[in-house]
Chains A and B, each alone.
Chain A
Amino acid sequence: MMTGRFFAAGADRRVLVMIALLVAAAVIVPILSLGVRPDSTLHMPPYMVALTGKYLCYALLALSLDLVWGYCGILSLGHGAFFALGGYAMGMYLMRQIGSRGVYGNPILPDFMVFLNYPKLPWYWHGFDMFWFAALMVLLVPGLLAFCFGWLAFRSRVTGVYLSIITQAMTYALLLAFFRNDFGFGGNNGLTDFKDILGFNVQADGTRAALFALSCLALILTFLICRAVVTSKLGKVLIAIRDAESRTRFLGYRVESYKLFVFTLSACMAGVAGALYVPQVGIINPSEFAPGNSIEAVIWVAVGGRGTLVGAALGAVVVNYAKTFFTSGPLAPYWLFMLGALFILVTLLLPKGIVGTFNAWRESRKATEAANAESAALEDGVGEPKPAE
């Protein structure tokens, strides 16, 4: 199987390239959007900024998924749930910020609660008028769910497809729950009609550009955290668990603790992705919990290359760009065919994904070059034959 060493070569340079690209994007996109006159060809329309920001949030989700799947072998089909929970936490903050500007003009209750005759704010909505509290919940709620879920699942050694299936059941159960009106999260319609974030208008071009830059920053930060985790000693154990779980356990490692740590961390990251996603698209509704969304996130990682981090982010952007491109054109009915074919072809023909295959190709080229050089040296009689070990 693949090992950590496999990707180590040349990875550091790629990391630098990616970070440089993201920093450049964080600087250039706001300039193109705000600094350039609207009639110029270089001007970036605000919708483009929001769209690209959305891709970055997806990339963040893919990154979190790659951490658990690519490095620890946990195929979570419920990461969309963590993403959506983070999004709901942010959405609740944004709802509270509307205040008395809603259709019904109630200073405390959001519109849907007035509509559904809520006498007062449900207890779990308290505190969300403060940004720091909402930001804490963005990390805490998905993290706590992942911790409880993982604690139960990993301790009793639910692995492989079983784990995948119950993570799917988890997000499905949440989907059903959030669709209910009396659950207190806006039911079918979800949360929308946002006005302000930290006092800035959500719709304003400046806010959008700032959110975009923030997404870039979050992606860089998450990337660095993931990088630190997988290159540490802990990361080596994670890879060992992925490749031979029982053997790692027999060597004396507490497999479930490692899994639990990485699963919870990944869920928090997915929550952050959701929280950045919501103000940029302006809505969060229960369909984000749909099992199909989580599986789609898995295919982004697979396309880019699992266990490469860079690849996951790349895959998310590429697949979503393709999705936007095809679903807005005359080819719209064929998009699902393409997506389906992508699932099949990537798993059959490109199991390492784009980045993984590229890495393997470079490795093999290097190996042949080295071998050629060695044999050439031997033929010339210049190189000393290696002493037998």
Chain B
Amino acid sequence: MPWRSLYRDLAMMRFIARLCLAGVLLAGLALQARAQDLDAILGKFLTDSYSDTDAGVTALAASGAPTAALVVEALANGRLAFSEAEKLVVINTKDGKQLDAKTGKPIASVPADLKPVRINNRVRRAIDAATGSLTLLSPDPGRRFQAAEAVFKARDASALATVEQAIEKEQFASVKKALVEARAAIRLTSPDTSESDKVAAVEIIEKRGDQDALALLRGIATTASPIVKLAAETAIAGIERRLALLSNVQNAWYGISLGSVLLLAAIGLAITFGVMGVINMAHGEMVMLGAYTTFVVQEICRANFPAETHPHALDWTLPIAVPLAFVVTALVGALIERGIIRFLYARPLDTLLATWGVSLILQQAVRVQFGPNNREVGAPSYMSSYFDVGGISITYGRLWIVVFSIVVFAGLLFVLRVTPFGMKMRAVTQNRRMAASMGIRTPLVDTLAFALGSGIAGIAGVALSQIDNVSPNLGQGYIIDSFMVVVFGGVGNLWGTLVGAMSLGIVNKFLEPYAGAVLGKIVVLVLIILFIQKRPRGLFALKGRAIET
């Protein structure tokens, strides 16, 4: 077996060598022909007529003259000039030299009647197409790829020969694919391609499957012969199906991403509301404080470990900020509970007003301390790039926030299910007086629950600092959405919050393409207001026989 494969390799090499030889011979022949043609082609630039310039550009690209790329580039940038008297086309280089367009060498005497070659939109299109085909043979694979894409979009029939040539030489699979697609696009639009070739081309383009392919096929479907038309229409349907599926998957992902942000923002609210029946209007400000904690950590980090000497210092700010934000906001939360809320337990509506006052004070304090404008919070390296899954680009920042919110949710579930404190909290949620009778110190549980809820809001703020503007108003943007999540999901059950947050996020993102972002949000708010009629205590309501007083 190895022998046979070696033999095959050798045969392949021989074939390639022959091909190269043939290529060189052909190129040699072509060169001779070109030298004669070049004068004629450059002559087109001397007439000061758009249609001649247009033809000249196209011919130049097809000629493969060594100066062709230079000439086209100069023309595109308005640096190509001509002298009618001396029949000379001149390239003005960027550094002010004058080159002969035919030879590429500096010219001895600059003609007196130099005029720039003028271009219009038609010529510009020709230039784009020419640039595409000229760079198809560039040694840089990235540029070759771009050129192939440009040819695909321009579909200039004159580039076909160059594309064929490039396909044969191409080593990189991805570039080769782009080139084959470009060739298919040219063949499809050219009138002198056979039916079967066109159908084959349609298949190639269908595999590409993006919006450009769709646009091309739609253009074909209106004009082509019945067979090609049928093939094109089938292909269009296939691409549309795939694109629709892709956009659904993408919407679902965006929805999950938004849902996880809502979950982070709302889960602390759900705890305090569940345990104490208290609406904390200052909850959004806890989120804001968490975000500012991140900002302060980064400022300290920048001051003590400058990026020049410690390139990875920024990466450590988030792991430091998360526990710190938790501690800071939990302390503030405990302070609010001890100082204000515990006096108002019999009057939940008054709590709402008092905590609104707290939120005003916290916002203004931050505004006075840090200024009213957005503060810059940097994204560490692991948050800033993105990757591609089957046509959907996923940013690492969003991905980590989804993961983070799941971790926080699981951690909270663990605390509530397993720890003694969690057990006491659940007991107080279910029946406060009974829990108190069993010896649970309900005031302590209240304080700790409030601190816990606030602390989670703080770490939500760390996450939000990565995707939103860190300003004193940060919390206000989330507070109503968080309320909606809690009202929708019901209190006293973390799963309700999870389901509430995710469904709100996903519904929001699926409505957005139809209704726009703002209208989508309005629709969601109206839906919740209607939903609450049906289930006034949310999706996952605590069941009980107690009568609300």
Q: Which positions in A face B, CB cutoff 8 Å?
A: 75, 77, 149, 152-153, 155-162, 164-166, 168-170, 172-173, 176-177, 179-180, 244-246, 291, 295, 298-299, 302, 333-334, 336-337, 339-344, 346-348, 351
Q: Quick one: closest B residue to A244, CB to CB?
A: B549
Assuming the contacts A165-B483, A302-B353, asked whether A340 and B522 have C-beta atoms less than 8 A apart, the reply is no
Taking CB atoms, residues of chain B closer than 8 Å to A157 are 536
Taking CB atoms, residues of chain B closer than 8 Å to A291 are 480
> Per-position contact with A for B367-384: 1 when CB-CB < 8 Å, else 0?
110000000000000000
Assuming the contacts A152-B530, A340-B360, asked whether A158 and B536 have C-beta atoms less than 8 A apart, the reply is yes
Other 17 A-B pairs with CB < 8 A, given A173-B529, A180-B518: A156-B536, A158-B536, A161-B352, A165-B487, A170-B525, A172-B480, A173-B526, A177-B519, A336-B363, A340-B361, A343-B354, A343-B357, A344-B354, A344-B358, A348-B343, A348-B354, A351-B350
User: Could you tell me if B533 and A153 are in contact, using CB atoms closer than 8 angstroms?
Assistant: yes
Determine which of B529, B533, B536 lies in contact with A169 in the assembled complex, contact meaning CB atoms within 8 Å: B529
Assuming the contacts A156-B533, A160-B349, A341-B361, asked whether A172 and B279 have C-beta atoms less than 8 A apart, the reply is no
Assuming the contacts A164-B349, A340-B357, asked whether A246 and B548 have C-beta atoms less than 8 A apart, the reply is yes
Chain B: interface size category? 35 or more
Q: Is B344 an interface residue (CB 8 A)?
A: yes
Taking CB atoms, residues of chain B closer than 8 Å to A336 are 360-361, 363-364
User: Could you tell me if B349 and A75 are in contact, using CB atoms closer than 8 angstroms?
Assistant: yes
Q: Is B416 an interface residue (CB 8 A)?
A: no
Q: Quick one: closest B residue to A69, CB to CB?
A: B349
How far apart are the CA atoms of A240 and B432 in the complex, in Å? 26
A142 to chain B, nearest CB (A): 17
Taking CB atoms, residues of chain B closer than 8 Å to A337 are 360-361, 364-365
Taking CB atoms, residues of chain A closer than 8 Å to B147 are none
User: Could you tell me if A299 and B353 are in contact, using CB atoms closer than 8 angstroms?
Assistant: yes
A141 to chain B, nearest CB (A): 17
Q: Is B348 an interface residue (CB 8 A)?
A: yes
B358 to chain A, nearest CB (A): 7
How far apart are the CA atoms of A120 and B50 in the complex, in Å? 45
Taking CB atoms, residues of chain A closer than 8 Å to B344 are 347-348
> Per-position contact with A for B484-508: 1 when CB-CB < 8 Å, else 0?
1001000000000000000000000
User: Could you tell me if B480 and A347 are in contact, using CB atoms closer than 8 angstroms?
Assistant: no
Secondary structure at the A interface, as helix, strand, loop or mixed, is helix
Secondary structure at the B interface, as helix, strand, loop or mixed, is helix
B356 to chain A, nearest CB (A): 5
B269 to chain A, nearest CB (A): 11
Taking CB atoms, residues of chain B closer than 8 Å to A302 are 353
How far apart are the CA atoms of A344 and B339 in the complex, in Å? 10
Taking CB atoms, residues of chain A closer than 8 Å to B368 are 333
The 10 A-B residue pairs with the shortest CB-CB distance, nearest first, are A343-B357, A340-B360, A340-B361, A336-B364, A173-B525, A340-B357, A344-B357, A347-B350, A156-B533, A347-B354
Most buried by B among A149, A172, A291, A344: A344
A294 to chain B, nearest CB (A): 11
Q: Is B243 an interface residue (CB 8 A)?
A: no
Cross-chain pairs A/B with CB under 8 angstroms, 26 sampled? A153-B532, A153-B533, A160-B348, A160-B548, A161-B277, A162-B536, A169-B483, A169-B525, A170-B525, A176-B518, A177-B522, A179-B518, A180-B519, A244-B549, A298-B353, A299-B353, A333-B367, A333-B368, A336-B360, A336-B364, A337-B361, A341-B357, A343-B357, A344-B354, A347-B354, A351-B350
User: Could you tell me if B353 and A295 are in contact, using CB atoms closer than 8 angstroms?
Assistant: yes
How far apart are the CA atoms of A333 and B522 in the complex, in Å? 33
Q: Quick one: closest A residue to B351, CB to CB?
A: A347
Taking CB atoms, residues of chain B closer than 8 Å to A347 are 344, 347, 350-351, 353-354, 357
Q: Is B302 an interface residue (CB 8 A)?
A: no
User: Could you tell me if A173 and B522 are in contact, using CB atoms closer than 8 angstroms?
Assistant: yes
Taking CB atoms, residues of chain A closer than 8 Å to B484 are 169
User: Could you tell me if B532 and A166 are in contact, using CB atoms closer than 8 angstroms?
Assistant: yes
> Per-position contact with A for B505-539: 1 when CB-CB < 8 Å, else 0?
00000000000001101100110111011101100
Q: Is B547 an interface residue (CB 8 A)?
A: yes
Taking CB atoms, residues of chain A closer than 8 Å to B525 are 169-170, 172-173, 176
Q: Is B35 an interface residue (CB 8 A)?
A: no
A168 to chain B, nearest CB (A): 7
Taking CB atoms, residues of chain A closer than 8 Å to B277 are 161
Taking CB atoms, residues of chain A closer than 8 Å to B10 are none
Assuming the contacts A298-B353, A347-B344, asked whether A166 and B358 have C-beta atoms less than 8 A apart, the reply is no
User: Could you tell me if B352 and A75 are in contact, using CB atoms closer than 8 angstroms?
Assistant: yes
Q: Quick one: closest A residue to B537, CB to CB?
A: A162
Q: Is B340 an interface residue (CB 8 A)?
A: yes
How far apart are the CA atoms of A17 and B147 in the complex, in Å? 86
How far apart are the CA atoms of A117 and B202 in the complex, in Å? 42
Which chain B residues (322-361) contact chain A, with CB distance < 8 Å?
340, 343-344, 347-354, 356-361
How far apart are the CA atoms of A43 and B200 in the complex, in Å? 90
